[in-house]
Amino acid sequence: MIRILTTRLLQAVLVMVAVIAIAFIMFRFVGDPVAAMVREGASQAEKDALRAVLGLDRPLVIQFLNFVGRVLHGDLGTSFRYQQPVATLLLSRLPATLELVIVATIMSLAIGIPLGVVCALKPNGALSRLTQSLTLVGISMPTFVTGLLLILVFAVNLRWLPSSGRGDVVDLGFWQTGFLTLSGLKSLILPSITLALFQLTLIMRLVRSEMIDVLSSDYIRFAFARGLPRSYIYGRLALRNALMPVVTVTGLQIGQLIAFAIVTETVFQWPGMGLLFTNAVGFPDIPVLSAYLLFVGFLFVLINTVVDILYIFIDPRLRTR
């Protein structure tokens, strides 16, 4: 057990080392931040002075070692554009992204699980075929197209919901939330639907597949033979076993939603980490870009490591491998 846990943690550390290297190297080619920061008509001497202040005049190896040293001490650098610590910027945008991801996840589970059960009970029925066709169309459309269509229908034509922004938020000191205001809740609806579509389809199809397998098992047939109520068989026996892989996939999908909320936040001008990343690409704000990649990489590594460790405790057979 100790050997397996040590191996998993060592693998996580090695992956994070690779992510740190990629975060440093990748964004060195997105543009020259000095050109975006100096005044128009600045002399070469002024550009060189600013480059020296930012530490961009040093050899690449020295820059990388300084970058690693700062990361190990929890210092993600200072934003070139905002002239604020990058960690402060990310933490200020984190509540908006997390609230969007939380609502999208709840939507996908609340809709995807019942649809998956319905499709599994009558897999060849008209409702099942219609549901799968609609979800297939929804997942096939690019995220920005879905978002623009929702804005066109519900914000422009019907004027029921806002087209952009986060609405009014309540400052709780450590967290700014839109859950406590009407405009904040209304602003969450369209971007949450857009972000939830892919996960909803995945959960629906996964529940359908697992339910079909469970319903064909011997203990379900035995439960029917005993005359147990259908609601008990479907809800307690079949669904509980079918949800085991759904829990795992949902946990991994949360990290993916945070990572790929960039398009949704850009379309709806949602002030989260994804929009911060998009704005940083155009500047280019290298410390913000690197810190965002580090955060997303750490999140995926953390989730996968926790899932692997949980598997070891849940399934004793893995401890002997």
Once rounded to an integer, what is the mean pLDDT over residues 182-199?
A: 91
Spell out where the chain has E strands.
170-171, 176-177
Q: How far from 145 is each of 104, 150, 170, CA to CA, in Å?
A: 18, 9, 31
Domain 86-318 sits in CATH at: 1.10.3720.10
Instruction: Report residue 122's pLDDT band, with 50, 70 and 90 as the boundaries.
Output: confident
Domain edges within the chain: 15-85, 86-318
At 314 the pLDDT is 56
Q: CA 104, CA 96: separation in Å to the nearest integer?
A: 12
- Between residues 307 and 205, which one has the greater pLDDT? 205
Q: What is the dihedral angle through the alpha carbons of 15, 17, 18, 20, rounded to the nearest 10 degrees?
A: 120
pLDDT, tens only, 145-172: 889 999 999 999 999 999 999 989 998 8
pLDDT at 301: 82
Q: How far is C-alpha 237 from the geometric centre of its chain's CA atoms? A: 31
Give the separation between CA 244 and CA 240, rounded to whole angstroms.
Answer: 7
Is residue 189 over pLDDT 90?
A: yes
**Sign, CA torsion 159/163/168/172:** positive
How far apart CA 217 and CA 130 sit, in angstroms, is 27
pLDDT tens digits, one per residue of 247-275 = 777 777 787 788 778 889 999 999 999 89
Tell me how far CA of residue 137 lies from CA of 146, 197, 256, in angstroms: 11, 10, 21
d(CA 20, CA 295): 10
* Mean predicted lDDT score pLDDT of the chain: 83
Confidence of residue 62 (pLDDT cuts 50, 70, 90): confident
Q: Which residue has the tokens 């019907």?
A: 158
- For residue 212, pLDDT over 90 is answered with no
* Paired tokens of 143: 């995220």
pLDDT of residue 67: 82
**What is the percentage of the chain residues whose pLDDT exceeds 90?**
19
Contact criterion met (CB below 8 Å) for 27 and 77? no
Cis peptide leading into residue 59 (ω within 30°) = no
**In sequence order, which residues have a C-beta less than 8 Å from that of residue 303 and are 6 or more positions away?**
251, 252, 254, 255
Closest by alpha carbon to 198, among 251, 141, 240?
141
**Measured between alpha carbons, how far is 132 from 151 in angstroms, rounded to an integer?**
24
pLDDT of residue 321: 54
Q: 113 with 207: CB under 8 angstroms?
A: yes
* pLDDT tens profile 281-319: 877 788 888 888 888 888 888 877 777 776 666 555 555
The whole-number average pLDDT for the span 123-148 is 81
pLDDT at res. 30? 66
Share of the chain above pLDDT 70, in %: 93
